[in-house]
Amino acid sequence: MVANRPHDARFNMAVRWELPAGTLLDDGLASLRLLIERHEILRTRFAESPGEPPTQVVDRRGVHPVLIVDAAGQDRGGSPVDPVRDLAARRFEPTQEYPARFCVAVLDGRALWLGAALSHLAVDAAGTEILRRDLRAAAARMAGAPDPEPGRPAVLQPLDQAEGEQSSAGRAASRRAAELWRQALTGTPASLPEAPSLPAADPAFPARLLCARGLGARAQELADRLDVGISAVFIGAATAALAAHQGVDAQSVVVTCGNRMARRMAGYAGTVAQQGVIRLDSLGAPASDVITRTWEALLTVHESSAYEPADVNRVLRELTGKPHVGHYVNFVEEHVPLHPTEVFQALGRDAWVTVPGPTVTSSFLRYGLTLVANQEDVVLRMFADGRLMSATAIDGVLDGVRTRVAGSRPL
């Protein structure tokens, strides 16, 4: 997040949480107040010193402005409406403001839903679900109703998490993670090669989307046959496609880890997701072998993600001259129709097409590859610094992933 400044607004999350029918505006605001009281991360700022990681500062009290939205004529269902996205479109200034902006939609004096723009510096995707659950409980309390999800876990607060990370066990885990990064990156390309002779690129990198009907079902069949998770099919295929693009037989890729295996994380809304790294060698091996080894690597990748950034940054500077690798490869499993819906609606059975995607603004990333699948379909999204990778080359990598999953050639 810090390294991506001033282009970190793209990491902000826009969410909308429905309130119980008939909730009065004052009760909706009171429910939000209870949520903020319960989760210190919503009243946390980040003090900074040059060359040092941000320091969390939790306020005992503070003020959260709430935008009141006239809900007349707006659909109660569906995705977050424009006011929420508008709040999320602006970057947060973590030294001066809390990592959340709120709005509430009102119709005839009743609060319909609460919208939130959340900084990823403070809250991750799993944390948004914890906040939603606790808001429901707060709204039920205000209405005098029973907790809709009794037995909710106690809240782990940010300073509790920081204390664990700085403990002897936490520091040992961080050193171990840094060593795993060293092992993964030694002798493999850390990212796309540099191109120092080319002019500086516009930080808004164009993206490409490959939309494929039926590829999700094909990947699931392959995963079931090999007794692995579907993520291994896509990440294994993506790693092999990236290696083929660079003409190498071994490749390291960075993946995002949720880091919520420990029971104490069940009530923690703060960000614990961090990047881990996996390395795959002998990528010319049969598909079943590569996918199985990918699954084995993914089962332990969390060990490389439990680190203090300074520890891994030292390793990266030593190996690459930079404090970051500048890429990610992530898999997302969905259970809803994929976007862009109009593209999928126009595709026939087992058909696929590559189309332009929205630009991605980044300060240091060289490329990003997101693999999204539901039970039937797939959308592969990739952006890259145009100095290092042309749109044609991006299309080649995306098609390499597709053909490897489809089974038309070995990994």
Enumerate domains of the chain plus CATH numbers. 9-152 (3.30.559.10), 187-407 (3.30.559.30)
Distance CA 22, CA 110 (A): 6
Q: pLDDT band at residue 410, thresholds of 50, 70 and 90?
A: very low
Instruction: Please state, for a pLDDT cut of 90, what percent of the chain lies above it.
Output: 71
Q: Residue 404: pLDDT above 90? A: yes
Tens digit of each residue's pLDDT (9 = 90 or more) over 207-235: 999 999 999 999 999 999 999 999 999 99
Q: Write the DSSP assignment of 248-294 as a string of letters.
A: -S-EEEEEEE----SGGGGG--B---EEEEEEE--TTS-HHHHHHHH
Give me the amino acid identity at 211. Answer: C
Which of 41, 52, 31 has its CA nearest to residue 138? 31
Cα separation of 158 and 163, whole Å?
A: 9
DSSP-based three-state secondary structure for 238: helix
Instruction: Give per-residue pLDDT as tens, 73-116.
Output: 555 444 445 899 999 999 999 889 999 999 999 999 999 999 99
Q: How much is the pLDDT for 80?
A: 43
More confident residue, 202 or 119: 119
Q: In terms of Cα–Cα distance, which of 411, 329, 331 is closest to 371?
A: 331
Distance CA 154, CA 157 (A): 9
Any bridge partners for residue 360, and if so which?
A: 205
Helix axes 25-38, 125-142, angle to 10 degrees: 130
Q: What is the pTM of this model?
A: 0.87
Integer Cα distance of 283 and 367 in angstroms: 20
**Average pLDDT of 285-293?**
93
C-alpha pair distances (Å), 345 with each of 71, 213, 341, 370: 30, 10, 6, 21
Distance of CA 58 to the CA centre of its chain: 24
